[in-house]
Structure formats: C-alpha cells, structure tokens
Amino acid sequence: MPPQSHAAPRPANKRGAARLAAVQALYQMEIAGAGINEVVAEYENHRLGREVDGEQYLEADAAWFRAVVAGVVADQRAVDPLIHAALPAAWPLARIDALLRAVLRAGAWELRSRRDVPARVVISEYVDVAKAFFASDEAGMVNAVLDRIASGDRAGELSGGRGAPGAESGAKPGT
C-alpha cells in the first residue's frame, strides 16, 4: 500500500524509509495473513528502493526494516498491552484501524526495544509515518499514544530533554 500525501512530512532517510516499509509490511501481514519470511523477502527483493505500480519506494536500511518487522512479530504479546494501556478507554486496540495498529506497534516496539534511539526521535518518526497515510487526527493519536508509552517506560529521557546516555544524541529524526 503506497503512502498518501496528506501533509508535508520531512523527507525520510534510510531508517525513516525502513520504518515506513516496516509498517506497510506489518499491515500486509495482518490483512493478508502472510508470514514474516514471505513478506520480508518480498520487500527486500521487490520493493525497498524500487518502483512498484508507478510508486518509487525510497532506499531503506534493510537491517533496520528486518529488525522492526521481526521485533514487532516476536514481541507483539508484550507490545499490545503497552498500546492498549496508552489508548483512551473507549478505543481498545482491536477497534483501531489495522494500518494505525501497525504504526503503533512498530513505534511501541522501537520505544521498548531500541534504547539506542532517543524516544523523541522514535515518536517523531512514527508521527511522520502516520502522516504519510492519514490526516492529522491519526498522527495526533500516534503522538499521544507513543508519548504515553515513553513517559512510562523512558520518563527520565523525556524529562531530561536529550536522549539516553550513549544514544544517538544530536542525530536528526530518521536516524
């Protein structure tokens, strides 16, 4: 599913493109019931950095793409309760659109598992991914949910204003 142009998100770098592709792959796996090996191979061999149906896919960090997809699949039972707890009571995770669920799962996994990337970068990147597919309401929801998760799991990092020690401090979003 190629992204739509609702807002003008920042141009993605290789990790940003990998995050976008990972969300698309997670969505495809959920909707089509496809397996991880099949979907990852399809993206690496036919989509990442290639033209598909008239849409040019950006060159992506393939290792980052694989890490996000495999991480979400492996840790989904731990990630989903984090998201559920951060959602408003009237919006259980099962009620959320499948593509938005994929964005939230990828972002929550990265916040939980990739402490080498500052929480603010993770949140910003997945807000940009949401903007590629949705209008501002969904991007706002992604921001709020990921911020709640980070506030609980990486609170010191958010209140300190900089990334965790040894993290990609000074790195621009998408790294």
Tokens coding 80: 């989903």
Domain at 100, CATH number: 1.10.940.10
In a domain, 46, yes or no: yes
Spatial CB neighbours of 93, under 8 Å, sequence gap ≥ 6: 80, 83, 84, 87, 101, 104
Q: What is the mean pLDDT of residues 95-116?
A: 95
In a domain, 161, yes or no: no
Number of domains in the chain: 1
Residues 27-86 pLDDT 10s:
999 999 889 999 999 888 877 877 666 776 677 888 999 999 999 999 999 999 999 999
In a domain, 128, yes or no: yes
In a domain, 52, yes or no: yes
In a domain, 55, yes or no: yes
In a domain, 129, yes or no: yes
- pLDDT at position 167 over 50: no
In a domain, 162, yes or no: no
- pLDDT at position 171 over 50: no
pTM of the model: 0.81
In a domain, 168, yes or no: no
State residue 52's pLDDT score: 63
Distance between CA atoms of 155 and 33, rounded to whole angstroms? 36
Distance between CA atoms of 161 and 11, rounded to whole angstroms? 24
Residue 156 identity? G
Residue 148 lies in domain: 14-155
Q: What is the mean pLDDT of residues 120-148?
A: 92
